[in-house]
Amino acid sequence: MPDIYTQLRDILRNEYVDIDLTQKKLEAIKEETQRAGPQFEHFRLACLNNMNHQHAIAIDYANRALKIAEIENDTFLLEHIHALLGFIAYNRDDFEKSIEHYLRTLQYVQSPRIINNIGAIFADFDDVHEAYRYYKQAEEVFDDPKNFRLLAIIYSNIAECETAFGHYGEARRYLELSQEQIRTFTQNEGTAYIFNALGDLAYVQGDYDVAIEHYSKGESYARDESILVYYRNFMLNHAKALFAKGDLDGAKARIELLFKDSRTYGFDSNLPEIQELLAKIADANGQVESANAHYKNYIDLMRKREASSLQHRSESIKTTIRVAELHTQLNALNQMSRSDALTGLANRFALREYMDAWTETNQKEHAVIALLDVDHFKLHNDNLGHAHGDACLVEVAKILKSELKSERGGVFRYGGDEFLIVLVGCHPEEADRKLEHTRESVEALKSILMTPANQKRASISCSIGAVTVPPYSNQSLEELFDIADRALYISKDQGRNRVTILPSK
């Protein structure tokens, strides 16, 4: 049976695609979480209560789990608990608390989900350009092809920014990519957030029939997905589209449903924009007295909003300063995010930057590009546990850092158990010697799982595939990766635990 980390990761990867299925899976692992420790059981209960919109209870359980995880320095739980608390705070419009938890999450892992969520906060600040920057960064660092829902959300968010910029063709392209992700794994045409974005795109172009069609489809998914982040604006925009089309009864029905749902889910519906739309509906129906009452409410709410702005101007200035400070923190985290949290090696984001400078790097000197894969790594996780697997990767990373240094090269964690090495100024003969010595060092490792009841030693080996590159090579780094990957396949096909080196041409 997979360890508790693997079970939780698989369950939560696409937790909102099928909320009922996710809840059933969380309920089914109750015995496993209880055996694993109270922190896992508290986290499980926090997730379940969040999905049932029992946010106060979810926060309580999450904080209980957090205290133990901090003592145990359990990076998996620390990452997921802070992400959960950040998401709950965001749903409750507590953006500062949400950012606080998201920043803590990014201390443990470069998470595209969290980077995307930070972008959503800037979108709520109406800072579309800043939101777009984070959405695009989330797209850049996305590295979990099984998490189709997250990639679909990122694409949809980018599309909404493109819509705001007036780039309708690009918005359409990203929404099609988003739908493609969903259709790959489900029978659905999309999700509530995709149809929300499609509706907004049609609405701003004045195509109200299409907007209404998309909003209607979105509503059919919204309740099953139980995501409230955008629900209020979604319903209001649907009502506006119906009003623009002349369907006054339909527009009013959407507002009444919004009022009903606000009582159920606890979000604020007392907005001047809603009162203004109700006034216009009443006015169009000839209901002068009702229209006047709604206009009066609209004016009162606008005055309160203005008075609140005057009353809290000092707080607004402080908030602006805090946002500027967050920019500074996030920029620092962007630098930190170029390092893999587990091994300390450069990650794929740093590799992309390195690739951009490859032509300049590959001048005058020989180079070697190698891919190293830990043999049968899945068995380490399955047989000895997630923590043991992490320990293996850390030990392998130490060997790579000590034995494969290159002034203008680098060692990167390319995937879960795959590493990429670039050696600049290294001749083919020297590369063969260095890589073979690295293979032997990995083979000599004995990783030990330290538990009082069960101490097991596990042998580790690796397969390496490399390509030698002459000076002034005109081949791109992507082409050279493909050759190194072919060499790695040869090493694995010939029995693993060996080095294969191919020429670049």
DSSP string computed for 346-406: B-HHHHHHHHHTHHHHSSSS-EEEEEEEETTHHHHHHHH-HHHHHHHHHHHHHHHHHH---
- Quote the tokens at residue 160: 């909404």
As a whole number, mean pLDDT of residues 243-271 equals 84
- Quote the tokens at residue 53: 């919109």
As a whole number, mean pLDDT of residues 94-113 equals 83
pLDDT of residue 454: 47
Q: Other CB atoms closer than 10 Å to residue 484's CB: what's the count?
A: 27
From CA 286, how far away is CA 266, in angstroms rounded?
33
Q: With 0-12 CB in 10 A as exposed, 13-18 as middle and 19+ as buried, what is 166?
A: exposed
Instruction: Look at 175-184, 207-216, 265-274 and tell me which has the smallest mean pLDDT.
Output: 265-274
From CA 141, how far away is CA 349, in angstroms rounded?
6
pLDDT of residue 144: 75
Instruction: Look at 28-42, 49-63, 283-297, 372-386 and tell me which has the smallest mean pLDDT.
Output: 372-386
pLDDT at 188 over 90: no
Domains located in the chain, CATH noted:
1-109 (1.25.40), 276-334 (no CATH), 348-503 (3.30.70.270)
pLDDT at 325 over 50: yes
Confidence of residue 485 (pLDDT cuts 50, 70, 90): very high
- Quote the tokens at residue 279: 């006034």
Instruction: Look at 66-70, 128-132, 304-308 and tell me which has the smallest mean pLDDT.
Output: 304-308
Confidence of residue 57 (pLDDT cuts 50, 70, 90): very high
Give the residue among 364, 354, 355, 360 at the shortest CA–CA distance from 470.
364
From CA 253, how far away is CA 249, in angstroms rounded?
6
Give the residue among 200, 213, 118 at the shortest CA–CA distance from 162.
200
pLDDT of residue 192: 80
Q: Other CB atoms closer than 10 Å to residue 16's CB: what's the count?
A: 18
As a whole number, mean pLDDT of residues 249-256 equals 92
- What are the Cα distances from residue 460, in Å, to 412, 450, 495, 502? 19, 16, 14, 25
pLDDT of residue 331: 65
Mean pLDDT of the chain: 83
One-letter identity of residue 102: Y
pLDDT of residue 333: 61
Instruction: Look at 192-196, 259-263, 264-268, 283-287 and tell me which has the smallest mean pLDDT.
Output: 264-268
Q: Other CB atoms closer than 10 Å to residue 495's CB: what's the count?
A: 9
336-383 pLDDT, tens digit each: 567 777 888 888 777 877 777 776 666 678 889 999 999 988 887 777
One-letter identity of residue 134: Y
Helix (H) or strand (E) holding 238, with range, is helix 231-245
pLDDT of residue 265: 64
pLDDT of residue 450: 40
pLDDT at 310 over 60: no
Confidence of residue 445 (pLDDT cuts 50, 70, 90): confident
pLDDT of residue 430: 87
193-217 pLDDT, tens digit each: 888 889 999 999 999 999 999 988 8
Instruction: Look at 182-191, 250-259, 282-291 and tell me which has the smallest mean pLDDT.
Output: 182-191
Confidence of residue 227 (pLDDT cuts 50, 70, 90): low
279-305 pLDDT, tens digit each: 999 999 999 999 999 999 989 888 877
pLDDT of residue 248: 94
- Quote the tokens at residue 497: 């635990």
Give the residue among 153, 167, 245 at the shortest CA–CA distance from 203.
245
pLDDT of residue 494: 93
pLDDT of residue 484: 93
As a whole number, mean pLDDT of residues 328-342 equals 67
pLDDT of residue 452: 40
Percent of the chain with pLDDT over 70: 85
pLDDT of residue 435: 94
Q: With 0-12 CB in 10 A as exposed, 13-18 as middle and 19+ as buried, what is 436?
A: middle
pLDDT at 409 over 90: no
pLDDT at 318 over 70: no
Instruction: Rounding to the nearest 10 degrees, give the CA dihedral for residues 157, 160, 165, 170.
Output: 80
pLDDT of residue 464: 96
From CA 90, how far away is CA 70, in angstroms rounded?
23
pLDDT at 51 over 70: yes
pLDDT of residue 244: 92
| Helical segments of 246-287, H only | 248-265, 272-284
Higher-confidence residue: 194 or 474? Answer: 194
As a whole number, mean pLDDT of residues 57-71 equals 94
Q: Highest mean pLDDT range out of 13-17, 167-171, 319-323, 415-419?
A: 167-171
pLDDT of residue 359: 65
Q: Which residues does residue 446 pair with via DSSP β-bridges, in sequence order? A: 459
2-24 pLDDT, tens digit each: 688 888 888 887 665 567 788 89
pLDDT of residue 401: 87
pTM: 0.59
pLDDT at 44 over 80: yes
pLDDT of residue 312: 54
Give the residue among 499, 482, 503 at the shortest CA–CA distance from 491.
499
